[in-house]
Amino acid sequence: MLLEIQITDEDRRVDYSLQVSVDALDAEPEVGLGQAIEVNTVRCTEVTTWLGDYAVSAFPGHDARESLEKKLGQWCLDRYADEITEAIQSQLEPAYA
């Protein structure tokens, strides 16, 4: 399943809009496993930098030389793994409640 999430780095004043491909894995109580979420890929579709009340956006997929969506997505996953996990769980909780 494909989820749209946004991660905010308040120290840097940057927002990252991400498309995250995830699989929800069923629980396997016989081996002691609860339900899990597996992140397959992360693509960064927009980077927004805040300058006071104004924002400047960049769209990594529009670079004519090389689409940077996957590279920036992986960088975000490495740096903001906990925030991405929380955003995924908050979107999926209603479906599994």
- For the chain, what are the domain ranges? 2-96
Q: Percent of the chain beyond pLDDT 90? A: 66
Over residues 58-85, mean pLDDT: 92
Q: Above 90 in pLDDT, residue 35?
A: no
Token pair, residue 43, equals 């693509």
Residue 83 CB neighbour total at 10 angstroms? 17
Dump pLDDT digits (tens) for 57-67: 999 988 888 88
If you search the block for the tokens 């924002």, which residue do you land on? 55
Full-model pTM = 0.82
